[in-house]
Structure 1
Amino acid sequence: MVRVLVTGGAGFIGSNLVISLVKEGCDVTVVDDLSMGMMKNLKDVQGKIIFYKHDVCDHVFMHRVLDANFDYIYYLAAVASVVDSVERPYITHQVNQESVVNSLEYLRINHYFPKKFLFISSAAVYGNYPELPKKENGRVQPLTPYAVDKYASERFTIDYGTLYGLSTVVVRFFNVFGPRQNPSSSYSGVLSIVTKCLLKNKKFIMYGDGSQTRDFVYVDDIVRALIFISKKKETCGVYNIGYGEQNKLLDVIRQYEKIAGKRLDIEFKDPRSGDIQESMADVTRLKKTGFVAKWGLENGLKKYWRYAESEF
């Protein structure tokens, strides 16, 4: 049986990944301290996985876990709040960078060679440079401790591959939405907040006029891409994961309203300082692997709404 480790596996994307891996028949181990993840996200696989409620910064513990010599490692554990990284730069740095490097180093010195070590990064590394679409080999401008740590961890992951023969790969997520995203979280995606407001008939605060663009991608396509990339022996370096589409936020909301059959009460406010106005992934490199998205934005919104109605 294929043995897989998922750090941060009780979070939004991690839990969706874990559920898919279990369905594929994998023997899955999850490490999550539940500071951001939730056990209810894993209710569908309860009793079918090994779960450790633990901090990835406990290096001794992580070494014991890594001694299982996994076939695949998906490193999603992170403090995903940009605001938190600004307020607590060193503490978040320990999770977002030091824990990653320590795990890579333990694999190296013990001659563990998983089929793939896949590190999860973010489009936040691109910052505010105006070039569109965002290309993996384009300029980066990490503007916060979160983005700095993500970019540094990317380089460590890639260099451990080129220098020491580990099979490593990095993915940069754009704007992911879908089931198990917590709308009450301070770092949650905008569409989860919109969904909550639609369900509960609450006012949605729009910072800016809604013309800001994003490359929204449904979480099931994210998970499919992660598994696809990890199984491809030749994948290496960095891959953007998005749809390669530039959608205005207000247009996406209007599309979602039609799907939900409800009108969103929107209050417009001034843009927030530091918010990115335009974003879109260049997915040429992803497509060259042979990966084809299944859902797309409209079908993803439909599926998300059906899930939301059944859960809330």
Structure 2
Amino acid sequence: MYLVTGGAGFIGSNLVAALCARGAEVMVVDRLGREDKWRNLARHPIAGILPPEEIEDYLAARPPVAAVLHLGAISDTTARDGDLVAAVNFALPLRLWAWCAEAGVPLIYASSAAVYGDGALGFDDDASPAHLARLRPLNLYGWSKLAFDRRVADLLARGAPAPPQWAGLRFFNVYGPNEYHKGRMASVLFHKFREVMAGGPATLFRSDHPDIADGAQARDFVHVDDCVDAMLWLLDNPKVSGLFNLGTGTARTFLDLVNALFAALGRPPDIRFVEMPADLRGRYQYFTAARMDRLRQAGWTRPPTPLEEGVRRTVRDFLLQPDPYR
């Protein structure tokens, strides 16, 4: 049995689909709410759905868990409730770490590229306490992810008990199917697709950086299938532990992404630039690119999905379909 927190969410539901396709039993820990989030799981024979507040009672009964894959979090980069974010994104994974260490169960958890802040210090997934102490996230969400990474490094440095395998994955800008419930936090691709299909242009933020042109803001856009493949590879290679970036290693501009969208739709580009919202000014990353050395050296060899191919697959195989869910 695999325990997947956030298993009805974007990355989580894609992982659940892959595990079920392998014939694995999967217990999903998540809330479905009142909207269509349940559709992310509708095609897959999951073993059950557990509310997050019941996870500790569930684990106290020592169920036969093969691995915990902790993807659940408050992922809103504009979140302001520090106590809630600390409880969900820091305290809970610490308790999962302790349980996995005691029970001898592997733990794979989601960190984030948000820990790198504005990128001025680079995007090196160095897990040493000294390096982690230098990072300066731009928002509460990024701080919470860095706080847990730092605590893991501290526990390991102190020789405290650890899970037999652990891996923290710093996801970069993930896109793909099953993110339709995420609202403002959905990928740029999904938002631009909805704008275009509603009959308007694709809007992009104007740059307020003097050295970067409008639309030239760049991200490491990684397809969710690549992220799932990395997690499955880690499960298949239990001797590999560590903190790893998970992206393509290449930054592409928002113009590249939107042009790929129009190409997938068979339409000429129609792009309009708009002012950046006030709550993002000063907390906006203008460039991200994952250093992928460590995960590659550990043995993960899957080539990254090219942006144009990933956008085409997402648009044609999912977004344009009557049932766009995986």
Q: Report the TM-score, using the length of structure 1 for normalisation.
A: 0.88
Q: Pick from 142, 145, 150: which aligns with 1:147?
A: 142
TM-aligned CA deviation for residue 231 of structure 1: 2.3
Q: Residue in 2 aligned with 1:309? A: 320
Question: Could you tell me which amino acid in structure 1 is paired with residue 272 of structure 2?
Answer: E
Equivalent residue number for residue 68 of structure 1: 63
Q: 1:158 to 1:6 in 2, by over 3 A?
A: farther
Q: Distance in 2 between matches of 1:27 and 1:14?
A: 14
Counterpart CA distance in 1 for 2:232 and 2:71 is: 13
Please report the RMSD computed on the Cα atoms of aligned residues, expressed in angstroms.
2.2
Structure 1 residues 107 and 281: CA distance shift in structure 2, 3 A: closer
Cα drift, residue 49 of structure 1: 1.2
Q: Indicate the residue corresponding to 2:89 in structure 1.
A: 96
Q: Secondary structure at the match of 1:171?
A: strand
277, 292, 306: which one aligns with 1:296 = 306
Aligned partners of 1:158 and 1:169 also within 8 Å: no
Cα deviation 1:259-283 (Å, max 9, x = unaligned): 2112454331234401111111111
Map 1:1-312 onto structure 2 (within 5 A). Answer: 3-34=1-32, 38-45=37-44, 48-56=45-53, 58=54, 60-64=56-60, 67-84=62-79, 86=80, 88-108=81-101, 111-114=102-105, 116-132=106-122, 134-137=123-126, 139-158=134-153, 163-166=160-163, 167-182=165-180, 185-208=183-206, 209-271=214-276, 272-273=280-281, 274-294=283-303, 295-306=305-316, 307-310=318-321, 311=323
User: How much does 1:286 deviate?
Assistant: 1.5
* Cα 1:184/1:240, change in 2 over 3 Å: closer
Aligned residues: 300
Amino acid in structure 1 at the alignment position of 2:308? E
2:11 aligned counterpart, secondary structure: helix
Contact preservation (8 Å) 1:59, 1:102:
no
Tell me the percent identity. 27
Q: Offset at 1:156?
A: 3.5
2 CA distance for matches of 1:122 and 1:196? Answer: 26
**In 2, Cα distance between equivalents of 1:104 and 1:251:** 39
Gaps of 5+ in 1: none
- Distance 1:164-1:11 versus aligned 2 partners, 3 A rule: same
Which piece of structure 1 moves more, 179-188 or 67-76?
179-188
Conserved 8 A contact 2:29-2:55: no
Q: Which letter does structure 2 place at the counterpart of 1:112?
A: A
Q: Deviations over 1:162-190 (max 9, x none)?
A: 52141211000000000111276121111
| Contact map agreement 2:111 2:146 (CA 8 A) in 1 | yes
Gaps of at least 5 residues in structure 2 are 207-213
Q: 2: CA distance between counterparts of 1:15 and 1:37?
A: 13
What's the CA shift string for 1:77-136, capped at 9, x where partnerless?
A: 10110112x2x111122111111112222334xx3011x20010110000013244x110
Separation in 1, partners of 2:100, 2:296: 30
Q: Distance in 1 between matches of 2:182 and 2:86?
A: 24
Three-state SS of the structure 2 residue aligned to 1:125 is helix
- What CA distance in whole angstroms lies between the structure 1 residues aligned with 2:299 and 2:19? 20
Quick check: 2:98–2:162 contact (8 Å CA) kept in 1?
no
